[in-house]
Each structure stands twice: as structure tokens, then as C-alpha cells.
Amino acid sequence: MRQYVVCGIAMLLLTGCSHRDAARSVPVLVFWHFVGTRAIATNHQGSDTKRLLATEESRALLDQTLDKLARAPRQWGLDPEHGTTWIRPLLPQLLQVEHAFQWRQCGRHTTEWTLAVRLDIQSQALWLTNLTRLVQSWARQGPIVDPETGGTRWLLPPSAGSGVLVLARVDSWVLVGAGPADLTLPAQWAKEIRSRQRPVPELNGSWARLRLDGPALKSRLPRWLKEFDLPVADMLLVPTGPQIQWRADLKFNQPHGWRPEPWLFPSNLIREPLVGFCAAQGVGPWLKPWLDKANLKLSPTPNQLCAWSLGATPFQIFLAVPVPDATNAMQELCRVLPPWFNTNSQGRALGWWVVPSNRLAIIWEGMPFFGAFCRPAHEESSHGFLFAGLFPNSARAPQAPPDLFQQIVGRTNLVYYDWELGGERIHSWQIVSQVALLLAERQQLSHTTPGARWMSMLATNIGNVGTSVVATGPDRLLLTRTAPLGLTGLETVLLAHWLEAPGFPWTWDWPAFPSPARRTQATLESAPRRSHAEAGS
């Protein structure tokens, strides 16, 4: 099975498209359509979602995020104070009303994008005034009439990639678009509005739609993502009862190659109190290149796995991988992994991986927070497992209920299954993330930040979160996620750290610990001297 990835991107201003390029097919890199929070407020569904978004903690994090987004265009040479003055008042309105965004290819190396926002007359005036002032200060020249939309256009500065920006009011919509001088998307949407009163079709029953063209975006993504066979992901956000549900149709350029096989679970190892469980099939084609790079010779390549977490301590997170001969597989891990880890962790406070003399296992020693391990485990005479965890298992606790496995075993097209108590997992991942930052010599997230307060609130307010991926065709998968906010516990913690990162939204880098002040000879000589009597007191 090929790995599916749902990825996010930032809007870019790129230019230089020729008429010959524009005549070719134009793949849509990103499409986003949202009905707006005003429409959602009148919908009787999604009560849990709306309640969580209305909390004081959610509003505080949203306000901070909008403040940062307003200053983000400094990446393109815009004065951040101008962003605060003219962009910040528009962002709450953008969330409240229906809007659509499209970013598409218009040449081999060039793109164009357009944002359409549905506004009343008073709000349209605010948008046109603020954006005109903003672009005027940025472009440092007067606008000219855009004949295609009836609006105005500016030549953009080199810091924004040159090209043009178009601003127009068409009926009840405001259009903002940028790209090369011969961009066409604003004019196309203006034509649709004049003939059909809207630039894109309505969202019938859905709150949002997001479409990402993975193959077309591949060259623009981080290096580690380029190794995956990315699909075209078409996602709908649909209210379902008190929660929301993401439904993502994933279409690959090539057959994903997934085939069903009997599920294998270490039922004697999975204990209560269970707060999360996931299982996946078809991971072999994705796993094999990484095993080859590490010179790990596991034959056959493992093709499924399961992981689970307990509520007793945050570090009770476990992984089990079924293998035909667990003893031989563990011997191979002992041969490769400890020397690799101990060599690459030198100079860091990460402890060391040790193979005990009295048993076949790998133990992570020298760590004060957890007792990680990896060892072979045997359930049936026909197969065993590689069993790993960050903390010892609860050996005397009751086993997991059989109903958990029955939800999985009978489904012949199930590729991936995940269930968790979202609040419990948020709390656990908060603690694990703080330890990870400490080990990485990065500053930890302060408990007083809006992001930390938001996670703490969610930890006591989110219940079941369910995710499944099923094969619907030789080149298609369907991902379904049901949750109050559409996120798992891990995704919630990662999102909060990104929103709190100093470089948001452009980077995820977390600041390192400040270097201790170095004591030079000059500072030693200038330091006050103490007498022998003072030194002994």
C-alpha cells in the first residue's frame, strides 16, 4: 500500500506564465471552500464542535493566531505593522462568511491564486478600502483598471515575485487574485458570479471542502514528503450528530497494491485501561525502503502493525509488529539498532540502547522519564511479534475486550483503524511533547500560553475519536474521521505547537535553550573579589 498523506501548504505568489503555458491544462494545486461560521451557527448539528470552539481558550488561541497571520505577509516584503492595521480587521469576517480559494498551476514553474469572499455592502467597502491601502503601500504605485473583472490591478514588487494583484467587487463577492500578468482565474470567477451568483458550486450539506493535488504539489513539499506516492485528496467536512466528520477520497496515480490478509493481534499483551488503539495493513511497501537504508534484513518484510496506549501513565505507548520468527527478527534488530543509536546520539543527553546479557531485548538506559524496550513476544506457534514500548506494560491488568478486535477482523477492505479517547490522548501527548522538547534541547511550551491552555481544556472535554481507511478501488482509498474537532490527540498537540511557534505560519521550528553566558577573562577580572574571611563565612 502506498502511504496517503493529507498535507497543508501556504499561499505563494509566483509569476511569469506565458500564453502558450496558459493554454495547457491547469491542475488545481489547492482548492478550499468554507460556508462560514455564521451558517454553521444556524445548523442544528455539530453541537459539541460549536461548544468547544466557543470556549474562552479557543477564542484566545484564535485571536493570537489571527494576530500572527496578519503579520505573516512580511515574508513577501510587506510592513508587518501595515498587516496589523489593514489585514487584521478582515480576518474575523473571513471566518464568518462563505469564501472559496483556489491555487492552480499556469505554467511549468508558475502559479496563480484567487480568493472569493461573500460580503454585505458595508463589509465590501471595508475590504476594498483596506486592501487598496495595503497594496498601495506595498506596490508603491497607483492601480490601473483591470478590464477582465472591472476592478483594479497593481504590479507587485520583486519581493512578492513580481507579477500582478487584482482586486474587484462583483455583485456580493470581493475577489482578490495574484499571479502572472496574464492570469485568468479572477476573470473566470467573475464571469461565474455574474451568470450564476457564485464563483463555485454550493456545498450541499457540507461545511467545508478541501482538495489537495499531491502529485502536482510534490515538488513544493519538504524533502521527506517527496519520498511518498502522494494521492489527490478530496475532503469534505460534514456535520454528523453532535460531532463533525472528515471524508477524504484519496486517488493515486498508480494502483496502491493493497491486498487483504488475516489480522494478527497480540491479544495477551493489550491490557486495560485502554485509551487508544490502532492497526494497519499493507505497510510493507512503505517500510521496506527504510529497512534497506538501515541495513535491516527482515524477511519477509512486516506488512502490518498495531499500537495502543494505556491511561495509567502518559508513556504507556506500545507497538507490536507480527513476524514469522520473532527470535530471529529480534536478533537482527539487536545487531543493527543499538550501534546506530549510540553512535548518532553521542554528545546528547539521550542515554544509550543496550542488549542485556541474560535475555534477547533492547533496553533504553540512562533516561529518567521512561523505560523504553523492545523484545520478542509469542502468541501462537505460527507467528510472533516484535513488541516495543516507552514504559513497562501492565501485566496484571485485564485484557482488552474482544469487541475491540471484532470491529476490525470482519472487514475485508479495512486498511487502517484507529480509536482513542481524545482527551486522554491529548493529555498524554502534551507530557510526551514536553519531554521530547527537553531531550531535543528546545524550549518547552509554557503552560500560560493560549496553545497550552487550549490543550488543557480539550483534555477534559473530548471523548471518542474514530478513524478508518478502507480500500474502495485499485487506486483509491477512503479516509473517514469522526471527532468533535476532527483531530486526534497527537494532531491536536502538533497543531498547538505549530500555532505557538515563533515562525508561524512559515516554519515549525521551536527555539533552542538560550546558551549560557560565557565567562571571559575580562568578566573574571572585573568581578568583585572576596576576602578569605568572606569566602569562609
Tell me: the pLDDT tens digits for 396-410?
Answer: 889 899 889 999 998
DSSP 61-111: HHHHHHHHHHHGGGGGT--HHHIIIIIGGGHHHHHHS-EEEEEEE-SSS-E
pLDDT at 237: 98
Asked if pLDDT for residue 120 goes beyond 80, the answer is yes
Band of the pLDDT at 106, cuts 50, 70, 90?
confident
Alpha helices in 318-385 (DSSP H): 326-344
Q: What is the pLDDT of residue 156?
A: 86
Q: What is the structure's pLDDT at 201?
A: 97
Average confidence (pLDDT) over 226-241 = 93
pLDDT tier at 10, thresholds 50, 70, 90:
very low
- In this predicted structure, the answer to whether residue 524 has a pLDDT above a threshold of 60 is no
Q: Is residue 423 over pLDDT 60?
A: yes
d(CA 293, CA 459): 39
Residue 435: predicted pLDDT: 92
**Is 382 a residue whose pLDDT tops 80?**
no
Q: What is the mean pLDDT of residues 185-203?
A: 97
Handedness of CA 355, 356, 359, 363 (dihedral sign): negative
In 3D space, the residue among 333, 320, 334, 316 whose CA is nearest the CA of residue 370 turns out to be 316
- Of 217-221, 233-237, 498-502, which gets the smallest average pLDDT? 217-221
Distance between CA 361 and CA 326 in Å, rounded?
11
The pLDDT value recorded for residue 19 is 36
Per-residue pLDDT at 516 exceeds 70: no
Instruction: Report whether pLDDT(13) > 80.
Output: no
251-271: per-residue pLDDT in tens? 999 999 999 999 999 988 999
Collapsing DSSP states into helix, strand and coil, what is residue 45?
Answer: coil
Ranges of each domain in the chain? 19-237, 255-260+412-514, 263-273+281-408
d(CA 99, CA 174): 9
For residue 420, give the 3-state DSSP assignment. Answer: strand
Cα 172-174-176 angle, rounded to 5 deg: 160
How large a percentage of the chain has pLDDT more than 90? 74
pLDDT band of 165, cuts 50, 70, 90: very high
Please give the pLDDT value at position 25: 61
- Cell numbers standing for residue 73: 505577509
pLDDT above 70: residue 392 = yes
Average pLDDT along the chain: 89
Query: Is 456 strand, coil or helix?
Result: helix
For residue 495, count CB atoms less than 10 angstroms from its CB and return exposed for 0-12, middle for 13-18, buried for 19 or more: middle
From 4-8, 21-25, 286-290, the region with the lowest mean pLDDT: 4-8
pLDDT of residue 460: 97
Q: What is the mean pLDDT of residues 526-531?
A: 46
376, pLDDT greater than 70: yes
* Average pLDDT of the segment spanning 192-210: 97
Q: What pLDDT shows up at residue 365?
A: 94
Q: Is the pLDDT higher at 346 or at 246?
A: 246
pLDDT, residue 222, reads 84
Considering the entire predicted model, what is its pTM?
A: 0.89
Region 221-249: what's the mean pLDDT? 93
Higher pLDDT, 503 or 158: 503
Tell me which of 451 and 519 has the higher pLDDT.
451
